[in-house]
Chains A and B, each alone.
Chain A
Amino acid sequence: DTAVSQTPKYLVTQMGNDKSIKCEQNLGHDTMYWYKQDSKKFLKIMFSYNNKELIINETVPNRFSPKSPDKAHLNLHINSLELGDSAVYFCASSKGRDYEQYFGPGTRLTVT
């Protein structure tokens, strides 16, 4: 009965590869987010979708492409991975846009 789940938990890959991270929420929320947490634990928003519509698109490289097939899922695809992409990526969801967010357990991406 996990509220927000992400797969995989850990992802180790080489530079230049393409990888995807999946996120699912069973809370019935309308809005989903992707955050990046760097090595200094700074959490920064990357994207947000509301009812499958992109509403926040921060200044991230266009190698990062979110996809929301339905309200309960928001996946993150990353092309041509670089060393600097190594971080923990968190998916989150909220009911509407009222900001109280529920986070997944995170995906630790390591690019070698």
Chain B
Amino acid sequence: TQLLEQSPQFLSIQEGENLTVYCNSSSVFSSLQWYRQEPGEGPVLLVTVVTGGEVKKLKRLTFQFGDARKDSSLHITAAQTGDTGLYLCAAPQGGSEKLVFGKGTKLTVNP
């Protein structure tokens, strides 16, 4: 089973600060997804990255897929309280139909 390690596990910051969370593996992935889950709700897909070195932007969120397609990062600029949530990375497990999830980074943005 390919493991996705997410760090940090918990992050608490003030509104307006910048932050980066990471998703790492020793395996190569064909693609990688980021989801955000708010309390009491299901995960919501934010982005899918496919190409090594790819950078995608979603407003204040910047996603990068590592050149070797083994890792990814999510950078948030000028965090807002609405960014609070559990950020999950996920990738298809090689040779199967399964999507494997990391354990997530729980982000709290304080006003």
Query: Which residues of A pack against B, CB within 8 Å?
Result: 4, 40-45, 48, 50, 55-56, 58, 90, 92, 97, 99-106
- Which of B44, B90, B99, B106 is close to A41, meaning CB atoms less than 8 Å apart? B106
Min CB–CB distance B80 → chain A (angstroms)? 22
Q: In the complex, how many angstroms separate the beta carbon of B11 from the nearest chain A beta carbon? A: 14
A102→B99 contact, CB < 8 A: no
Q: Smallest CB–CB gap between A5 and chain B, Å?
A: 11
B22 at interface, CB cutoff 8 A: no
Chain B residues with CB below 8 A from A48, complex form? 97-98
B interface: dominant SS: strand
Q: Report how far A105 CA is from B92 CA in the complex, Å.
A: 22
Q: What are the 5 tightest A-B residue pairs by CB atom distance, in nearest-first order? A: A103-B42, A43-B101, A103-B43, A99-B92, A90-B42
* Given known contacts A43-B88, A106-B40, A100 and B48 CB-to-CB distance under 8 angstroms: yes
Task: Let me know if A100 and B103 touch, CB within 8 A.
Answer: no
Q: Considering the chains assembled together, what is the distance between the CA atoms of A45 and B101 in angstroms?
A: 9
* B45 close to chain A: CB less than 8 A: yes
How far does the Cβ of A49 sit from chain B's closest Cβ, in whole Å?
A: 11
Q: List 8 A-B contacts (CB under 8 A).
A: A41-B37, A45-B99, A92-B42, A97-B97, A103-B43, A103-B44, A105-B40, A106-B40
CA–CA, A29 and B105, complex, Å = 29
Which of A40, A45, A55, A105 lies in contact with B42, CB distance below 8 A? A105
Q: How far is the CB of A40 from chain B (nearest CB, A)?
A: 7
Partner of B97, one of A56, A92, A103, A106: A56
Distance, CA A97 to CA B97, complexed state (A): 7
**Once bound together, how far apart are the Cα atoms of A102 and B35, in whole Å?**
10
The answer to whether A101 touches B99 (Cβ under 8 A) is: yes
A65 CA to B17 CA, complexed, in Å: 46
Is residue B86 contacting chain A, with contact meaning CB distance below 8 A? yes
- Using A100-B33, A101-B45 as known contacts, say yes or no to A40 and B103 having CB atoms under 8 A apart: yes
